[in-house]
Every structure is written in structure tokens, then in C-alpha cells.
């Protein structure tokens, strides 16, 4: 769904090891795998298969690991300090004797990010108003979508220019979406607008939104794609409510009854999801593979299915039939974001970090970031592994700076417990925005968190 992701650069130091036995030699590559705040991963790659050998890794001339290797191996070094440079060297061992030495590789750990921020709160509309999604271009260019009721008129979009919110209404020409040949238009107000579910922004002349059907802005006009009338969806298929893509030539739309539709810039194609449950969230890598989808199996908020797209096929990564975690699972799954080599998936057990390259999982338990009684995460968004934001249903937030979590319930306390409901969030490094609504009185709510 959101934003570009950082590219991990791999710096290599190649070296040749030669055994005292002239019949055995091998080229090995020691390279950077991934860097965190207190950890680094290094990759050891033999050029050719060889007999098992002993490998010793030193950091700043102190041995940190000795292990037997035979094939490509990731080595994780932990307990490091933030924003600190370390020099690594690899050795090929014959017993306790070093018989080959690599060139050195210097890596610098990431620094921590700031927990310091101030809240700015805006409300839009009157009774019946709510917001479903938000997209940050920059702190002076923010888009929100949903339903905004005011002065007996309806709006469904608003734009922040750094000074004020401009309300807009996206309607069809006869105010009835779904009729063939009807193009949506933007008006200053309307007596009936489309409730909008989500937004994906590429540029000021390239914006996608959904109202159950996809719509696209090309800088001059909005185009509605009626997937049923176009023959893309069958009568039994649900509408598409969430969207994500790498460009307008590679868009994915997901929604009710397992509906997945792909757009390649020329045509829309229905994809087989293998499920008939409602699909409520989607995100992927910058190159479009893999892609992850969250599905809702039961009624209410029960979201217990994770689909993954790879090699042109959707497969089930995770599925349970219950909400609360049990001994061998995470319980319900709620939301996902993909960052670098990891899918971050919020669950009822905590934050599930799934590394899709080596297919390993790490669970950050909810107790690490939740100081309240309940943290039903509606959104997780991250820029780097040391800069992660989460927000729960009742507008409590948690920020990870690389070392620790900061829990904040100021918005919940300000409006009253269980009186505010978050729907979506976005983050660009300098500003974190959450949207939803206040129950009493029911108005659309926007929280802008300015970092400093």
C-alpha cells in the first residue's frame, strides 16, 4: 500500500582460503545481510560446495562466533550499541589454527529514532462522519477519504494544504454509482456522495481510490471502472475495498468474498484467491513480489487469514478458526505492512515479523508495547526497523525507536475511553497521521503527530 521502502545495499569483501592440503581451496564472500540498531547479519557464501569447515568471525579483533559451515549461512551478531561502527573479519580454521583470513568489513548500526512528538487534532463534519484511509505526501499535502456530513451536504474526501482542510465530494453525474457509462466527477458539495474506503497516491495526476469499485484520477478526470458491468467480477463476487500497487500499471484491488482484481495498465483481470472470506488489507514489496493480504474468516473483527502472492500464485501462509491465540498460533491477524525483507503482521498475540527470504518468524509479544488492557491493532506502519508505529482500535499508539516501545493513550484519554475509533494510519518519518471518528458526537477525527 504505502510509500517506497529502503533498499538494503550489500557490500562484499571476497577472499581466498587455501588449505595446507593443496587439493582444497575455496572462495568465500563475507557480506552485509541486514543492519539493525543492536544487531547485524552477515552472510557467508562459499563459491563452490565444499566439505564442512570451521569458520571464525571476529568483531574488532574479538572472536564473536565459531561455527561449522558448508553452504551459504547468515550469521547474526547481537548486543551491539546504536550508531556504532564495528569491523568484522572471517577466518578459515584448521583446528585452532587460522589458515585463511578475509578482508575486513566495517558496518555501522542504525541509530535510534525519536519518541518525541506533539499531537494536533482536527475534526471534520457532523453526526455520521468518519474517515477510512489517509495518504501523506508531505506535512502540507495530506489526503483523507471516507464520509463527511456537514450542513445537510455530504463529502467524501478532504485535502490538507498545511493551513486548512478542503472538503470535496466525489459523485457520479446522476449521483448513482454503478450505472454503465457514468463517470464520477468532483463537486464542491453534493446531497449524495460515494463512501470511500481507501486511497493510493502516486502523484498529483495519478491517484486511485475505491468505493467498492476502483476509480482513477489522471489529472483531468476521474474514471470509474465498473468491474461487474465490465465482466471482470461475477454477480456473486463482492466489491473491492482495499488497494495497493507498485504503479498504475501494476495495481491490486481486494475486497469482499475473496475478490482479488489485478490491473496491468490496460485491462482488469480477476485472480483466484482460493477463499471466499472478506479481504481487508494488502501490502507488498516495491517490486511487487511477494504481496500479503489479510482476510477475515468470522464475523465482526475476526481476521484470521494471511495470503501471500509469489510466482504468480496466491497461497495461504496462515489460517486459524479462532480469535484469541492458542499454544501454537498467533490467533487473529489484523493488518500488515512489508518493509525490506520482512512482513510485519499485527496479531492478537503481538507483532509477528515474518522474514520472507529465510521464512523465519519472530513474535514481539503484546506486553512489550501495550500498557493498557487491550491493543486491537488497526494499523502498523514502518519506515525502517528502528521506526515503527502502531495504533489500536481505541486510538492508543505505540512507537518503536529501535531499542524500546513508547506507549501513548493521550487521544483516548482526551476524548474518553471507548469514544474514539481509529480506522487507518500513514507515516512518512516527520509526521504520523491517524484517521477515524469520535463516537459522541460522531464526527470524523484526524490526529497529526509531528515528530521533533
CA–CA distance, 244 with 227 (Å, rounded to integer): 17
379-392 pLDDT tens trace:
898 888 899 999 99
DSSP sequence for 333-361: EEEEEEETTEEEEEESSEEEEEETTTTEE
pLDDT above 50: residue 188: no
Least confident of 10-14, 403-407, 422-426: 10-14
Q: What percent of the chain has pLDDT over 90?
A: 59
Q: Average pLDDT, whole number, for the chain?
A: 85
**What does the pLDDT average to over 408-427?**
92
DSSP code at position 291: E
* The CATH number, out of the four listed (1.10.150.130, 3.90.1150.10, 3.40.50.880, 2.60.40.10), of the domain defined by the range 12-108: 2.60.40.10
Q: Homologous superfamily of 117-451 in CATH?
A: YVTN repeat-like/Quinoprotein amine dehydrogenase (2.130.10.10)
109-129 pLDDT tens trace:
999 998 888 889 999 999 999
Cell numbers of 271, please?
A: 485472480
Q: Are 138 and 428 in contact (CB under 8 A)?
A: yes
CA–CA distance, 212 with 206 (Å, rounded to integer): 19
Give me the pLDDT at residue 298, please.
62
Which residue ranges make up each domain of the chain? 12-108, 117-451
What confidence category does residue 191 fall into, taking pLDDT thresholds of 50, 70 and 90?
low
23-70 pLDDT tens trace:
444 567 788 988 999 999 998 877 665 567 788 999 998 999 998 887
Q: Cell 474518553 appears where?
A: 416
Give me the pLDDT at residue 183, please.
46
pLDDT above 60: residue 11: no
Amino acid at each position: 500500500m504505502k510509500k517506497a521502502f529502503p533498499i538494503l545495499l550489500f557490500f562484499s569483501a571476497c577472499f581466498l582460503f587455501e588449505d595446507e592440503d593443496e587439493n582444497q581451496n575455496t572462495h568465500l564472500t563475507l557480506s552485509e545481510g541486514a543492519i539493525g540498531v543492536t544487531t547485524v547479519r552477515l552472510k557467508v557464501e562459499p563459491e563452490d560446495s565444499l566439505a564442512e569447515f570451521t569458520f571464525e568471525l571476529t568483531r574488532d579483533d574479538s572472536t564473536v562466533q565459531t561455527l561449522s559451515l558448508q553452504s551459504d549461512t547468515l550469521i547474526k551478531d547481537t548486543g551491539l550499541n546504536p550508531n556504532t561502527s564495528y569491523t568484522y573479519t572471517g577466518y578459515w580454521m584448521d583446528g585452532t589454527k587460522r589458515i585463511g583470513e578475509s578482508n575486513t568489513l566495517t558496518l555501522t548500526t542504525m541509530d535510534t529514532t525519536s519518541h518525541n512528538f506533539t499531537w494536533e487534532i482536527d475534526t471534520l463534519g457532523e453526526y455520521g462522519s468518519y474517515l477510512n484511509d489517509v495518504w501523506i505526501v508531505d506535512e502540507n499535502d495530506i489526503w483523507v477519504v471516507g464520509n463527511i456530513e456537514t450542513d445537510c451536504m455530504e463529502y467524501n474526501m478532504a485535502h490538507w494544504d498545511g493551513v486548512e482542510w478542503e472538503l470535496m465530494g466525489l459523485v457520479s453525474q446522476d449521483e448513482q454509482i454503478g450505472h454503465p457509462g457514468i463517470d464520477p466527477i468532483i463537486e464542491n458539495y453534493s446531497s449524495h456522495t460515494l463512501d470511500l474506503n481507501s486511497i493510493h497516491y502516486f502523484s498529483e495526476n495519478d491517484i486511485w481510490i475505491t468505493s467498492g469499485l476502483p476509480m482513477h484520477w489522471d489529472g483531468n478526470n476521474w474514471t470509474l471502472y465498473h468491474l461487474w458491468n465490465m465482466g471482470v467480477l461475477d454477480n456473486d463476487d463482492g466489491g473491492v475495498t482495499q488497494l495497493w500497487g507498485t504503479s498504475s500499471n501494476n495495481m491490486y484491488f481486494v475486497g469482499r468474498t475473496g475478490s482479488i482484481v489485478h490491473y496491468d495498465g490496460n485491462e482488469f483481470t480477476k485472480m483466484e484467491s482460493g477463499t471466499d472470506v472478506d479481504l481487508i488489507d494488502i501490502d507488498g514489496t516495491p517490486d511487487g513480489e511477494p504481496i500479503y493480504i489479510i482476510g477475515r474468516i468470522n464475523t465482526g473483527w475476526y481476521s484470521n487469514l494471511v495470503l501471500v502472492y509469489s510466482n504468480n500464485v496466491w497461497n495461504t501462509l496462515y489460517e486459524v478458526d479462532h480469535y484469541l491465540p492458542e499454544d501454537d498460533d498467533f490467533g487473529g491477524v489484523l493488518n500488515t505492512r512489508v518493509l525490506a525483507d520482512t512482513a510485519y503482521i499485527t496479531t492478537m498475540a503481538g507483532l509477528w515479523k515474518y522474514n520472507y527470504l529465510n521464512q523465519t518468524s519472530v513474535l514481539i509479544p503484546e506486553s512489550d508495547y501495550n500498557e493498557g488492557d487491550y491493543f486491537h491493532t488497526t494499523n502498523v506502519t514502518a519506515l525502517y526497523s528502528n521506526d515503527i508505529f502502531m495504533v489500536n482500535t481505541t486510538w492508543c499508539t505505540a512507537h518503536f525507536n529501535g531499542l524500546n516501545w513508547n506507549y501513548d493513550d493521550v487521544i483516548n484519554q482526551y476524548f474518553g475511553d471507548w469514544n474514539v475509533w481509529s480506522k487507518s494510519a500513514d507515516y512518512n518519518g516527520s509526521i504520523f497521521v491517524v484517521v477515524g471518528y469520535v463516537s459522541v458526537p460522531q464526527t470524523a477525527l484526524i490526529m497529526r503527530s509531528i515528530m521533533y
